[in-house]
Amino acid sequence: MEKKSKVLALKYRPQNFKEVVGQDIVVQTIYNSIKSNKLPNAYLFTGIRGTGKTTLARLIAKSLNCINGIDRICIKNHCEHCSSISNYNHLDILEMDAASKTGVDDVRDLIEFSKYPPTSAKYKIFIIDEVHMLSKQAFNALLKTLEEPPEYLKFIFCTTEIKKIPVTVVSRTQRFDLSRVNSEILFGFIKEINDKENGNASDDALKLIVKISEGSVRDALSLLDRGLISYPNGKELSLESAQKIFGCFDKIFLIELFEKIFEGNEKEVIKIYRSIYNTGVEPKIFLNDFMEILYYIKNISSLKIESSNFSLNDNEFNRIEKISKEIKPEILLLFWQFTIKALEELNIVSNQELSLEMFLIRLLYLKKINNEKKYTELEEGSVNQKNKELTTNQTQDIENIIKSQSLDEPNFKNKTISQIKNFSQKEYIEVRKEINKEGNLIHINSFNELIEVCNDKKEIKLKYELENNVKLVSFQSTKIEISFNENLDRNFVKELSSKLFDWTKKRWVISFSKKTGSPTKKEEQELSEKKVFDEFKMTQEYKRIKKDFPDIEIIKVKKNDEIK
């Protein structure tokens, strides 16, 4: 490896395919294509920062032009091509940053330059970094050359935002998606670099670097470089030191914070948060780590102790697992929504520390309100059930009393009052009113009967809605379930409920269903008429009429029993 640069990310940049970290499948595919001389017109590398896009582009350029061939590509004693490519001054290898040259004129110059064969190398190679930054016109100007370039010309595109590249360009390239580097592989790599640099970083500190880098090799090397600079001459870079350097804090504090939140201990919650804040942690980093612990609490059953991303150790795992067993999932989901809201609020408040303290206090009261709500609902549900049972029993008693008495008896009132003395005067009067109206009550047992009642009562509007816009799902005593079309009147349910109560002296429940329901009465009638018409068209009589009167148009057919 080239080790002239003092920056680790450049000092340990791979000089051959074997040194590329964590992209084995991509490397193997490229190696096989070069070995078998099955080269695409253009390569397209996409992935997050620091996964090897530009590095692979330069290695391809070396492999195609190295005098020794791909199997013996120069590592130490560079040939003239490998040396020039490593020093970024090869005449036939043009490396262009599309972020600074986005226009169609820059691409035209590129195309014009491509017309001339390479001066000394076998292939002329154009490496365009951040290719998604090119303008639409620039991409269009590139299409023809990209599809049918000269044999000596190869394009290599690198991008972090593949969706911004037109599909017409992507389809003309061989695409390689570079994945985030596996945590264990990355840990082994930076541990090896740490040893080579005579660093004294602990394994826990290296694991923290791996976690922060999020699968980016360059980020991991930059963080390691920063840590080793901070603790030179054999001083140990411990986990605590690394946390201070990188602005992180131990997860155990967050876990303890959650425990105090769920205990409702406001004083301890604020104390723990302030100790975390005093370490210099950014509010957004705190909230993101807070959400991470929240995720672990919710999904701990699907995680393993030997986490491959070094997120949790055994102690942290066991404490989170204990919290998870005691907390309802719906509370965790509410916490998640409140945390997202707090992240949004950070952009509009000037004092973010106070905002986060109020966020934690809100979570404390949210937990408390949630528990009180459940208790109240449980208590009210019990009371309501008792009242319901009492009302039912009282109603039954009244009916029994009424049945046992003759309404014509002069002492009916006195006997009734003596037997239902536990009822209020108001309830008794209501019962008497219903008794007096019993002779006028209407019993509705089906949907068709309901339509007939509407017709008898001259409720033409309700009858029209029932026949034309209502699809029946189910009809039970005092309960109707319907679906409807877009033409249903907005006051239909209110008006129908009112009329049903007037007619039956009962409260009816009219509910809307997601089920389709049966066809409307109008649709049923139309289907019936169509069936009759279709049957008539099959008869000899219809054929005879059409034969005698070819221009006749039959609109409707009625059965004999329908003709009045």
Q: In a 3-state reduction of DSSP, which class is residue 158?
A: strand
Question: Sheet harboring 470-476: ordered strands across?
Answer: 470-476, 479-484, 509-512
Give residue-wise pLDDT tens across range 263-278.
Answer: 888 889 898 888 888 8
Q: How far is residue 158's CA from residue 177's CA, in Å, rounded to a whole number?
A: 10
pLDDT at position 386 over 60:
no
Contacts of 187 (CB under 8 A, 6+ apart): 206, 207, 210, 310
Residue 479, strand partner residues: 476, 509
Who has greater pLDDT, 481 or 516?
Answer: 481
Give the mean pLDDT of 89-95. Answer: 84
Q: How far is residue 350's CA from residue 406's CA, in Å, rounded to a whole number?
A: 80
Who has greater pLDDT, 533 or 286?
Answer: 286
Give the mean pLDDT of 548-564. Answer: 67
pLDDT at position 421 over 70:
no
Instruction: Quickly state the pLDDT bin for 367 (edges 50, 70, 90).
Output: low
Give me the pLDDT at residue 311, please.
Answer: 60
Contact (CB, 8 A) for 254 and 291: no
pLDDT at position 426 over 90:
no
pLDDT at position 416 over 70:
no
pLDDT at position 432 over 80:
no
Give me the pLDDT at residue 174, please.
Answer: 92
Instruction: Quickly state the pLDDT bin for 382 (edges 50, 70, 90).
Output: very low
pLDDT at position 168 over 60:
yes
Secondary structure of 312-326 in the HEC alphabet? CCHHHHHHHHHHHHH
**Number of Cβ within a 10 Å radius of residue 491:** 11
Q: How far is residue 524's CA from residue 511's CA, in Å, rounded to a whole number?
A: 22
Give me the pLDDT at residue 560, please.
Answer: 60
Who has greater pLDDT, 26 or 349?
Answer: 26
Torsions phi, psi of 206, nearest 5? Answer: -65, -40
pLDDT at position 448 over 80:
yes
Give me the pLDDT at residue 263, please.
Answer: 85
pLDDT at position 193 over 60:
yes
Q: DSSP of 494-555, one letter per residue?
A: HHHHHHHHHHHSSPPEEEE-SS--SPPHHHHHHHHHHHHHHHHHTSHHHHHHHHH-TT----
Q: In a 3-state reduction of DSSP, which class is residue 480?
A: strand
- For each of the domains in the chain, give its residue range(s) and CATH number, in order of start: 8-177 (3.40.50.300), 183-246 (1.10.8.60), 251-369 (1.20.272.10), 405-440 (no CATH), 447-518 (3.30.300), 522-562 (no CATH)
Give me the pLDDT at residue 205, please.
Answer: 85
Give the mean pLDDT of 330-359. Answer: 87
**Mean pLDDT taken over the chain:** 78
Give the mean pLDDT of 323-350. Answer: 86
Contact (CB, 8 A) for 50 and 219: yes
Return the structure tokens found at 258: 């959650």
Closest CA to 156 of 234, 44, 248, 302: 44
Closest CA to 296 of 314, 320, 328: 320
Angle between helices 460-468 and 447-456 (to 10 degrees): 150
Percent of the chain with pLDDT over 90: 8
Q: How far is residue 299's CA from residue 526's CA, in Å, rounded to a whole number?
A: 56
Give residue-wise pLDDT tens across range 22-45.
Answer: 888 999 999 899 888 888 989 999
Return the structure tokens found at 70: 């791909």
Q: DSSP of 34-85, one letter per residue?
A: HHTT---SEEEEE-STTSSHHHHHHHHHHHHH-TT-GGG--SSS--HHHHHH
Closest CA to 109 of 131, 155, 142: 142
Q: In a 3-state reduction of DSSP, which class is residue 276?
A: helix
Return the structure tokens found at 246: 């990188």
Give the mean pLDDT of 367-381. Answer: 50
pLDDT at position 223 over 80:
yes
pLDDT at position 392 over 60:
no
Instruction: Quickly state the pLDDT bin for 304 (edges 50, 70, 90).
Output: low
pTM, 2 dp: 0.56
Give me the pLDDT at residue 362, please.
Answer: 87
Closest CA to 46 of 170, 144, 151: 170
Give me the pLDDT at residue 46, please.
Answer: 92
Which helix (H) or strand (E) is 96 found in, with range?
strand 93-97
Instruction: Quickly state the pLDDT bin for 176 (edges 50, 70, 90).
Output: very high
Q: How far is residue 510's CA from residue 482's CA, in Å, rounded to a whole number?
A: 8
Percent of the chain with pLDDT over 70: 82
DSSP 302: G
Contact (CB, 8 A) for 32 and 50: no
**Number of Cβ within a 10 Å radius of residue 7:** 11
In order of 209, 309, 496, 523, the CA distances from 469 in angstroms are: 66, 59, 14, 10
The Cα angle at residue 302 between residues 297 and 303, in degrees rounded to 5: 75
Give residue-wise pLDDT tens across range 501-555.
Answer: 888 888 888 888 877 778 888 888 888 878 877 887 788 877 787 777 777 777 7
Residue 346 burial by Cβ neighbours in a 10 Å radius (0-12, 13-18, 19+): middle
Q: In a 3-state reduction of DSSP, which class is residue 335?
A: helix
